[in-house]
Structures are given as structure tokens and as C-alpha cells.
């Protein structure tokens, strides 16, 4: 299966380093590039032009609303799909189905859905959600059962512990039905993914660990008589040479304040998300002097996770080396890659002009993606 690449929409701001874009505060912080619609349109248009398929747009109290922001960007773009993240605890499944149907109608089918159950009670409680971790996944299971029922186009009945509906319908079922992307690494999450998801997203652990997760999910999906696709969410630092890429990682590391790292790690330590603890385990909360000390697998750097929650690793190297690592992940079952960098605009060009052609040369990607810049020397951003 060919590799699919997606970008990331920085709806919480952007900057030239991980230190410029806090991800662990509950409210917006000043960033060098504020997430106004004009800047976000620049990023979206670049990602579209460079041949990416979609853009993940996050959800949470630390960023703008994904539904409204991406809907505004539909008129500023032509082809790019938006992977809209939302939390089942914050709206009803019937409303979600209605939103999806309307979005597909006005966008001509450019919606992908990312289901975020939520791994931190403090964040969930900001939205009035007081369920614990495992209960949230049980609710998500019911939510997705109803959502898929409504997508089928007939009045749908459901009785559950968290959701009950009678004759649930949408004005128009979405056409096409958007694929459901779903993350989660816990024992409560994996069976829900196997039953309900189309694509399971995981963070960038070393390929062997990712491969074990993929195999486990394949087994669970087979028990449900289903098949899953798999995606990886990570950052990327790709340059013309390996030395240039690692120099950038070193610069990011050198800009980190030990007090900020300690504060971020204290907050991350409180999360209930199993995947987040695995990210933290890769760097151990230690701020070394050399970026290479946080290389946890050839070309995989854990330094981003010192300051940032969520995806904490980056693919670092020359365009060929980054393609090598992507190919290694592909060999263990990953077909989709959701990638971001600092700044998002410039890193999209580095990847799109450098790595996309390399993947095409290896037969892992079509070389004639609509709007892509093909076989060009990367600009010196």
C-alpha cells in the first residue's frame, strides 16, 4: 500500500523552535506566529501545494476549535482534506453525524475524523466531563456505534450506559462517509479501536515497539472480523544533510530552559494516557547537553517531548535518512504519517520538496500527486 502523508495545522500558534509553541498550558500563550486565519491559510495552502493528503487539526482547551477553523479554510484551499479532531464527551453522536454530513456537503468530501477520547482528567473536567479514563473509552465505544449507525442512513436506536438514542438520523448522511482515525494505547482503548476505527494512530515510539502494537491491534480486529489501517503521528526535522538536521535539533535543545522542562514533565506525569507515559519514558525527563543523547533509534529524536505533550519524537536526518525511517515504519505496518515541524510552514517545504520525491523514487508514493512540487532542490528555509 502506498504511503499517505498528512500535515498539521498549528491552531495554537507557531514558531521557529519547540520553545516557541507551548503545548502544556490550558490557555493560549504568546507565540511568534499567532494562529490567525491568514497564517493558517498559508500553512494549509503550502501543505496542499506540496502534495500532502490531509491536515490534522487538534482539539483541546489549548487551541482553537477544529471544526470552525477548518471550515473557514475550505474557501482558502482546493483539495487538502482536514482531519478534524474532536472529543466524544463534548457533543452528542447525533450532532457529530450532522456536523459530518454538513461538512462533507460544503467541502465536497474533504473531511476526515479524529476521535480523541482524552487521557487527562484535568483537561476533560474543563469541559464538564467527570468520567475516569476507562469509562471515557467505554463511552467512546458507544458514541462510535451510534455514529456509524447514523452514517448508514436509516433511523438508529441504541441503549447504552452512556448514550441512548431513538430514531437517530442526520439531515443527510455524509457522502462519502469520513474515515475514523482513533488513538489510544491502553487496555481500555485498543478493543475500541479494533471494533470501531478505520485508522489507528500511534505516536512515534521506535519501530519495533510500534510493530508490536500494530500486531496486537491486528489480532483484536481479526476477532471482530475487521481490518485496520495504521498511522504514525510525529514531528520531523529533515534537511539536505544529516549534519544540518542534527544541528537544528541541537539548537532546539539548547534553547530549552531546565525549569520549563521540569514544569512540563511534572504536568505530563499526571496524565492517565498510557501512550503519553511511553513518550516520557523515551527521554526520562533528562535535559542532556547533546541532542544525540536523545536519539532513541537511528534518526528518531525524543527531545520534543521534553517540552511538548502529545507526540514527543521527531524524525531527524537528511531527506534520504528520514525516508529510510519512514520505510522502516512502513515495514511494520504504518501506511499513514501525520507530520509537523518548527515552523510548520517551512518544515512542510523541507519535507514536501525533499522527502516526498525520495519516497516516490522508492515506489512508496505516487510521483504525480496533485499540486505537489516534484523533484526540486529544497529551498534553504
Cell 448514550, located at residue: 163
Over the stretch 217-272, which tens digit does the pLDDT of each residue have? 999 999 999 999 999 999 999 999 999 999 999 999 999 999 999 998 998 888 88
Average pLDDT over residues 177-191: 96
Average pLDDT over residues 292-307: 97
- For residue 369, what pLDDT band results from cuts at 50, 70 and 90? very low
Q: Give the CATH fold of the 4-245+315-362 domain.
A: TIM Barrel (3.20.20)
- For residue 98, what pLDDT band results from cuts at 50, 70 and 90? very high
Separation CA 343–CA 13 (nearest Å)? 10
Average pLDDT in the chain: 92
Over the stretch 257-274, which tens digit does the pLDDT of each residue have? 999 999 989 988 888 888
Average pLDDT over residues 25-44: 81
- For residue 168, what pLDDT band results from cuts at 50, 70 and 90? very high
Over the stretch 50-81, which tens digit does the pLDDT of each residue have? 999 999 999 988 899 999 999 999 999 999 99
Q: What pLDDT is recorded for position 377?
A: 38
Q: What pLDDT is recorded for position 21?
A: 56
Average pLDDT over residues 26-36: 72
Convert the chain into a string of H (helix), E (strand) and C (coil).
CCCEEEEECCCCCECCCHHHCCCCCCCCCCCCECCCHHHHHHHHHHHHHCCCCEEEECCCCCCCCHHHHHHHHHCCCCCCEEEEEECHHHCCHHHHHHHHHHHHHHHCCCEEEEECCCCCHHHHHHCCCCCCHHHHHHHHHHHHHHHHHHHCCCCEEEECCCCEEEEECCCCCCCCCCCEEEECCCCCHHHHHHHHCCEEEEECCCHHHHHHHHHHHHHHHHHCCCCCEEEEEEEEEEECCHHHHHHHHHHHHHCCCHHHHHHHHHHHCCCCCHHHHHHHHHHCCCCCCCHHHHEEECCEECHHHHCCCCCCCEEEEEHHHHHHHHHHHHHCCCCEEEEECCCHHHHHHHHHHHHHHHHHHCCCCCCCCCCCCCCCCCCCC
Q: What pLDDT is recorded for position 124?
A: 83
Over the stretch 106-158, which tens digit does the pLDDT of each residue have? 999 999 999 999 867 788 888 888 899 999 999 999 999 999 999 999 999 99
Over the stretch 303-326, which tens digit does the pLDDT of each residue have? 999 998 889 999 999 999 999 999
* Among 178, 230, 173, CA closest to 204: 230
Instruction: Say yes or no to pLDDT of 24 above 90.
Output: no
Residues contacting 81, CB < 8 A, separation 6+: 53, 54, 55, 110, 111, 112
Q: What pLDDT is recorded for position 29?
A: 54
Average pLDDT over residues 165-172: 94
- For residue 381, what pLDDT band results from cuts at 50, 70 and 90? very low
Predicted TM-score (pTM) of this structure: 0.93
* Among 69, 56, 197, 78, CA closest to 140: 197
Separation CA 104–CA 2 (nearest Å)? 25
Q: What pLDDT is recorded for position 27?
A: 46
Instruction: Say yes or no to pLDDT of 26 above 50.
Output: no
Q: What pLDDT is recorded for position 375?
A: 34
* Among 164, 167, 169, 193, CA closest to 180: 193
Instruction: Say yes or no to pLDDT of 371 above 50.
Output: no
Task: Output the nine-digit C-alpha cell for 26.
Answer: 490550558
**180-213: buried (b, 16+ CB within 10 Å) or exposed (e) per residue?**
bbbbbbbebbbbbbbbbbbbbbbbbbbbebbbeb
Amino acid at each position: 500500500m502506498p504511503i499517505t502523508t498528512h500535515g498539521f495545522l498549528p491552531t495554537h500558534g507557531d514558531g521557529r523552535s519547540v520553545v516557541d509553541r507551548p503545548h502544556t498550558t490550558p490557555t493560549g500563550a504568546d507565540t511568534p506566529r499567532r494562529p490567525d486565519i491568514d497564517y493558517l491559510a498559508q500553512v494549509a495552502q503550502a501543505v496542499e501545494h506540496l502534495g500532502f493528503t490531509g491536515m490534522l487539526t487538534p482539539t483541546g482547551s489549548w487551541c482553537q476549535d477544529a471544526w470552525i477553523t477548518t471550515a473557514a479554510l475550505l474557501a482558502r484551499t482546493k483539495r487538502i482534506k482536514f482531519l478534524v479532531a474532536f472529543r466524544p464527551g463534548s457533543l452528542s453522536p447525533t450532532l457529530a453525524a450532522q456536523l459530518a454530513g454538513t461538512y462533507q456537503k460544503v467541502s465536497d468530501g474533504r473531511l476526515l475524523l479524529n476521535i480523541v477520547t482524552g487521557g487527562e482528567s484535568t483537561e476533560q473536567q474543563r469541559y464538564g466531563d467527570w468520567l475516569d479514563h476507562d469509562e471515557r473509552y467505554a463511552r467512546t465505544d458507544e458514541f462510535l456505534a451510534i455514529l456509524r449507525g447514523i452514517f448508514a442512513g436509516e433511523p438508529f436506536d441504541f441503549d447504552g450506559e452512556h448514550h441512548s438514542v431513538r430514531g437517530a438520523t442526520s439531515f443527510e448522511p455524509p457522502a462519502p462517509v469520513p474515515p475514523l482515525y482513533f488513538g489510544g494505547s491502553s487496555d481500555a482503548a485498543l478493543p475500541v479501536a479494533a471494533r470501531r476505527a478505520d485508522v489507528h494512530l500511534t505516536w512515534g515510539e521506535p519501530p519495533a515497539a510500534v510493530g508490536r502494537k500494530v500486531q496486537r491491534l491486528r489480532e483484536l480486529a481479526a476477532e471482530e472480523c475487521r481490518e485496520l489501517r495504521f498511522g504514525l503521528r510525529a514531528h520531523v526535522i529533515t534537511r539536505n544533510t544529516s549534519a544540518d538536521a542534527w544541528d537544528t535539533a541541537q539548537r532546539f535543545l539548547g534553547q530549552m530552559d531546565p525549569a520549563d522542562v521540569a514544569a512540563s514533565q511534572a504536568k505530563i506525569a499526571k496524565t492517565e494516557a498510557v501512550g503519553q507515559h511511553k513518550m516520557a519514558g523515551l527521554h526520562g525527563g533528562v535535559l542532556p547537553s547533546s541532542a544525540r543523547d536523545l536519539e532513541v533509534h537511528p534518526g528518531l529524536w525524543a527531545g520534543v517531548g521534553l517540552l511538548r505533550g502529545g507526540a514527543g519524537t521527531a524524525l531527524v536526518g537528511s531527506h534520504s535518512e528520514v525516508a529510510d525511517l519512514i520505510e522502516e515504519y512502513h515495514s511494520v505496518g504504518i501506511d499513514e504519517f501525520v507530520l509537523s515541524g518548527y515552523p510548520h510552514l517551512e518544515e512542510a517545504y523541507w519535507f514536501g520538496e525533499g522527502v516526498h520525491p525520495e519516497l516516490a523514487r522508492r515506489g512508496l508514493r505516487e510521483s504525480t500527486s496533485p499540486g505537489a512540487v516534484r523533484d526540486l532542490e529544497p529551498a534553504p528555509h
